[in-house]
Chain A
Amino acid sequence: MSHHPALAHHFEDLEQQHESATLGMWAFLITEVMFFGGLFTAYAVYRWRYPEAWLEGSHELDIGLGALNTAILIGSSLTVVLSIHAAQRGESRKIVRWLLATIGLGLAFLVVKAIEYSHKFHVGHVPGPNFASGDFVHTETQLYFGLYFAMTGMHAVHMVIGIGLFAVLLGMAMRRRFTPEHHSWLEMCGLYWHFVDIVWIFLFPLLYLLGRNQ
């Protein structure tokens, strides 16, 4: 009996191969949870230590742009799911369309982030020798901006990697490499993208929203 060309010889069938890929991806995502977990823990410890500085820092962020980026990322998670849905039904052209939408939304997120970053460079709210410490009462506010750039910066790096992955997937989709039986690459990159979305789902309230009632 001839087997599916995508089936590696050490697997029984495509379903077992897919389940192995899913577990491997989740094992990788656990390491990612711990990587960002370290940053979130640092954030929580310093916020506990210097609540006034955190209050001052969070009031400098633009909630409108943060909320816009949250909506953009949630939208891009939807387009990823729709591309997988199209692959399951063998609709090749829809896969290409939804992957293009995902890449577009990912780039839009980075553009908004770049606008926010350039504003902070412009007003001197970037930690370092040129930090506009005169703008703030508490010196630890610089620590807040250090964590802001570390956390959103590492998140943005993950976004750039994700967009690169989807560019590769787009090439595969245009060569009609995804079939209803086998599109594990699409699903695994989707898991990664959703994880990056979840990181932002926590970054948005923690950095932009907490303390706005005061």
Chain B
Amino acid sequence: MSENHVVPLSLHLKVFAALIVLTGLTVLVAFADFGRMNDVVAITIAVTKASLVVLYFMHVRWSGKLVWVFAAAGFLWLGILLSITFADVVSRDWIPELPM
């Protein structure tokens, strides 16, 4: 909870190593054919990497609840932007064109 929490050096190095390994992994699996699941795999790895950066490098894991709320709010609004936009884009062709 304390903002002056000192994170051990070894943890920083482990997070760095995990991020590098995940970068290599995402390049490798990009050439494997999982059909439409390729997109899901790539985004999942990217979200995992971003979470590591937010929680450890950006220190959110040890920050107060208000910081958690602020950080989550950004991604909540991004979710609203994407979901409402795609609700429109994806469903446009569902209804045949109406006569004027």
Contacts and interface: CB of A to CB of B under 8 A. Distances in A.
A26 B59 CA distance: 12
Given A81-B57, A191-B58, A75 B16 contact: yes
B4 A44 contact: no
Contacts of B2: 15
Interface in B61-100: 63-64, 66-67, 70-71, 73-75, 77-78, 81-82, 85-86, 89-90
Interface string B1-21: 011101101001100100110
B16 A74 contact: yes
B81 A38 contact: yes
A22 B63 contact: yes
A89 B6 contact: yes
A74 B12 contact: no
A209 B78 contact: no
B20 A30 contact: no
Contacts of A209: 26-27, 30, 42
Contact of B74 (A30, A78, A82, A202): A30
Contacts of A197: 53, 57
Interface string A81-111: 1100100110000000000000000000000
A30 B70 contact: yes
Main secondary structure of the interface of A (DSSP, over half): helix
Nearest to B88: A45
B38 to A, nearest CB: 5
B56 to A, nearest CB: 8
A201 B53 contact: yes
A63 interface: yes
Interface in B18-39: 19-20, 23-24, 26-27, 30-34, 38-39
A150 interface: no
B78 A37 contact: yes
Interface residues of A, number: 52
A121 to B, nearest CB: 26
Nearest to A31: B74
Contacts of B42: 205-206, 209-210
A77 interface: yes
B23 A41 contact: no
Given A33-B78, A71-B23, A213-B30, A78 B6 contact: no
Contacts of B57: 77-78, 80-81, 190, 194, 197
Contacts of A38: 81
Contacts of A152: none
B50 A202 contact: yes
Contact of B89 (A15, A22, A34, A45): A45
Contacts of A206: 42, 46
A23 B3 contact: no
Contacts of B74: 26, 29-30, 33-34
